[in-house]
Amino acid sequence: MSVHQGSKQSSALPIVLIVLGILVISLLALVIFVDPIQVQPDLTLTATLATGTPEPTPIGEDVIPSPVVNVNGIAILGGVMVLIVLAAVYREILIHKRTK
């Protein structure tokens, strides 16, 4: 019984890895092609909390940059690393099947 169950698990594992690879590729495409939402900070609330009195929002050159950081490069590199690991695991599965 355990031999039969082991063969089911070994045949399902490549399918699971392929599905995970497709999921990672779709998430990478989402990160690359979808524009991030531009968040505008509420400068009047920040000025009120810091000084106690509201100050006018800066105009022109005095505009404070958005506090949102672009992490697309980190997400893309992480996705590529996951794909490399999935490819290595899939390769080991194929080598293990070949030796049986």
Domain boundaries of the chain, sorted by first residue: 8-33+72-100
**Residues 16-64 pLDDT 10s:** 989 999 999 999 999 888 877 766 655 555 555 555 555 566 565 666 6
Distance CA 11, CA 2 (A): 14
Closest residue by Cα to residue 97 from 19, 9, 2, 5? 9
Residue 87's pLDDT band, with cuts at 50, 70 and 90, is very high
The percent of residues above 90 in pLDDT, for the chain, comes to 28
pTM for this prediction: 0.59
Residue 79's pLDDT band, with cuts at 50, 70 and 90, is very high
